[in-house]
Chain A
Amino acid sequence: MNLTPSVVKLTATRKEGVIGSISFKNTTQLHAGQVFKIGTFGIGETSAWITDWEDDIATVSFLENNSVTHKIMLLPIGECITIRGPFGNGFSLGEKGYKEILLVSKDDGILSQKKLINDLIQEGLNVTLLHFTSSPKNLIMKSSLEKACNKEASPINGIIVDMTKKGPQDLDSFIAKQFKKHNIANIDGVALSGNEDFQKAVCKTLEKTNIKDKSIQILFNRNFTSGMGWSNQDLYGATNVWKDGPVFTLSEVRRFPGIFI
């Protein structure tokens, strides 16, 4: 693994709420669900999700909550940052021939799906987005999500679910109710991202539908390390999340040691 970073120049920076986004030139093909390691010399590195790639300009987004991201967001256009990547396999729903796609995300899980939404729309697929938020007042990617959920103008069927209304009921039954409320019939492909507790609860509901396990793609967000698997930080049993993933189908996930399903 090459640990020496490349140096690229910032072509744009944007901040919306707690999310920072930066753009830089990149000619390698990128997929939703892949990450870059971005950084500045003198501070270090952090992970950023690919949210757009058009005309050889990549845009990556991240939670602006550490010293690296603070520093990057202060940099003017034209200033240098370091990048390594892209890492991971990314989602591949568009290549599988599905017609009706359901995207399920929670909080910052939407970052890994933003590019996927654009890609699927361009391919002419019917997309339903079910985004769960635990802080509706500080919605992550607010403007994009509000646009997606505008029934008249949006090319997708976007639904935002307020998780603060969950109350005392457990996560599994809350999610099951939301799926029932927002009809998800005819879906043949699913992309899921969010924390593992959330993913577990969503999968319990999806298990009861007709959607095949291999048509459900789940993004496992694990810390990315330089020495793959040397620690068990990026391992899920015998599977290295960043070698074979981070996107796995539910049928693959079922082979992981029993804590997930």
Chain B
Amino acid sequence: MSDYILSKAKLKYWLEDIRRRNELWAPVGEGDSVSYLKNPQGENVATEFTNSLDCPKYIFCPQQDPICNYEIKGRGEVSVEPLEPDTTPRVVFGLRPPDIRGLDIMDAYLLNDNIDERYKAKKDNTTTICLGYHNPPPCCFAEAVGVDLFPKKGSDILLTDIGRSYYVETLSEKGENLVSEHFNEADDIVRNEAWGIQKKNKGKTNFDLNLEKWKEFTDSEIYTLPYWDEIYLGVIPDSVATRYFYSGTYFKIVDVAKGNHGTRYKTWTTMYSPNFSVLNNGYDYKPSLKEKFKDWILEMFHFFPKRHGFIGCSGAHRCIAGMTTKHDIRKIIANVDFGT
């Protein structure tokens, strides 16, 4: 596709233009307290942040997503009004590279086999703008899970911070459609500067997770390692965790009734919920934290890659920085004791 240069001073005007024609989601806040909000003023948009507090999956898959309205009209008479998927044109600005991976993870779960039409409609009508990772936090391990700090796929536009301007690369037709009069053509000097920054940052978030070693063992051997019997100790079943992760989330159907009418919602919540693995007959097939924690880790680093060809972790470091457990997942993975 094409490349341009956008002055940082003009960023807010570009975002204002986008906001006038689309629903804009962009990061707002400072330091560690950044969240993606709907239609913020261009001047309030944060660009100097490492990661948002919550992973922005809620933009594409809201925690409470209405499926249908209903009205009970009398005995044997119920009217159901399905709510059409949301096709509002939407632009998400400032996604960091781990969150681009996060969207790939959600695609794998929700757009394969059983397609979630509500998610698909949102994804199809959303243009994503990735802010390259020129400032990854120290505990980020994005490259260790295969995330490119300046990804050339997965988003529609990639911005590289080159000081007073952004080097803009359009990666798709949707991205090309957002090119505005605020952009200037990039020249070789800008290109070389941007590519230099991209190259300089390469390897900053690499961390040897020792995943090659996993390939020497069968599923059963990995699953039954005594290592997992101890590693969960100290983990706090943190309900907030679901906001930090792209995996470990499950859906429930919840009705909110007002008299004889109401709305049915699809809601997601954490795998640490008490009824997560309890069957109707009371049998709990993942009765302890050990199973939940082990299955979650193995799903991200072993079984998800087997099904989808890439690691099911975004490497965003939210679980290290944000969770109350203070477990360092990098060390948990890298130090797996295979007993050999």
Contact residues of A with B, CB < 8 Å? Answer: 1-5, 7, 9, 37, 39, 41-47, 62-63, 65-66, 76, 78-80, 107-108, 195-196, 221-223, 225-233, 235, 237-238, 240, 243, 255-259
B76 touches A9 (CB 8 A): yes
Identify which of A62, A76, A233 gathers the most chain B CB atoms within 10 Å of its CB. A233
Q: Is there a chain A Cβ closer than 8 Å to B175's Cβ?
A: no
A258 touches B220 (CB 8 A): yes
For the complex, what is the distance from the CA of A39 to the CA of B262, rounded to whole Å?
14
For the complex, what is the distance from the CA of A196 to the CA of B284, rounded to whole Å?
10
Contacts of A227 in B (CB 8 A): 109-110, 116, 249-251, 268
Complex interface bits, B261-294 against A, C-beta within 8 A gives 1, otherwise 0: 0101010100100001111111101000000000
Q: Is there a chain A Cβ closer than 8 Å to B4's Cβ?
A: no
Identify which of B114, B118, B296, B306 gathers the most chain A CB atoms within 10 Å of its CB. B114
Closest Cβ of chain A: how far from B330's Cβ, in Å? Answer: 20
Q: Which one of B8-16, B138-146, B252-260, B318-326 is at the interface?
A: B252-260
For the complex, what is the distance from the CA of A227 to the CA of B250, rounded to whole Å?
7
For the complex, what is the distance from the CA of A2 to the CA of B70, rounded to whole Å?
16
* Of the residues B70, B114, B268, B307, contact of A41 by C-beta under 8 Å: B70
Closest Cβ of chain A: how far from B274's Cβ, in Å? Answer: 12
Complex interface bits, B219-254 against A, C-beta within 8 A gives 1, otherwise 0: 111111000000000000000000000011111111
B253 touches A44 (CB 8 A): yes
Contacts of A196 in B (CB 8 A): 283, 285
Q: Is there a chain A Cβ closer than 8 Å to B113's Cβ?
A: yes
Closest Cβ of chain A: how far from B301's Cβ, in Å? Answer: 12
* Given A4-B82, A41-B70, A107-B281, A238:B248 Cβ within 8 A: no
| CB-nearest residue of chain A to B276 | A233
| CB-nearest residue of chain A to B250 | A231
B contact patch SS: mixed
Closest Cβ of chain A: how far from B7's Cβ, in Å? Answer: 41
B299 touches A3 (CB 8 A): no
A41 touches B262 (CB 8 A): yes
For the complex, what is the distance from the CA of A4 to the CA of B65, rounded to whole Å?
12
A76 touches B250 (CB 8 A): no
For the complex, what is the distance from the CA of A210 to the CA of B82, rounded to whole Å?
53
* Given A9-B76, A225-B250, A238-B219, A4:B280 Cβ within 8 A: no
| Complex interface residues of chain B between 309 and 330 (CB less than 8 A to chain A) | none
B266 touches A257 (CB 8 A): no
B113 touches A228 (CB 8 A): yes
Q: Is there a chain A Cβ closer than 8 Å to B211's Cβ?
A: no
Task: Beyond the given A41-B257, A63-B280, please list 13 additional residue pairs across the A-B interface where CB-CB is below 8 A.
Answer: A1-B115, A4-B68, A7-B80, A78-B75, A79-B75, A195-B283, A226-B253, A233-B250, A233-B271, A237-B223, A238-B219, A257-B219, A259-B223
B67 touches A1 (CB 8 A): no
Closest Cβ of chain B: how far from A5's Cβ, in Å? Answer: 7
* Given A5-B80, A258-B219, A258-B221, A226:B257 Cβ within 8 A: no
Contacts of A223 in B (CB 8 A): 276-279
For the complex, what is the distance from the CA of A243 to the CA of B307, rounded to whole Å?
13
For the complex, what is the distance from the CA of A80 to the CA of B298, rounded to whole Å?
43
For the complex, what is the distance from the CA of A37 to the CA of B109, rounded to whole Å?
21
Q: Is there a chain A Cβ closer than 8 Å to B193's Cβ?
A: no
A-B contact pairs, 26 of them (CB 8 A): A3-B266, A4-B67, A4-B82, A5-B68, A44-B255, A65-B282, A78-B76, A80-B76, A195-B283, A195-B285, A221-B279, A226-B253, A226-B266, A227-B268, A228-B113, A230-B250, A230-B268, A231-B249, A232-B248, A233-B277, A237-B219, A243-B114, A255-B219, A257-B220, A257-B298, A259-B224
Closest Cβ of chain A: how far from B113's Cβ, in Å? Answer: 6
Q: Is there a chain A Cβ closer than 8 Å to B295's Cβ?
A: yes
* Of the residues B117, B219, B247, contact of A230 by C-beta under 8 Å: B247
Q: Is there a chain A Cβ closer than 8 Å to B334's Cβ?
A: no
Closest Cβ of chain A: how far from B185's Cβ, in Å? Answer: 43
Q: Is there a chain A Cβ closer than 8 Å to B303's Cβ?
A: yes
A41 touches B72 (CB 8 A): yes
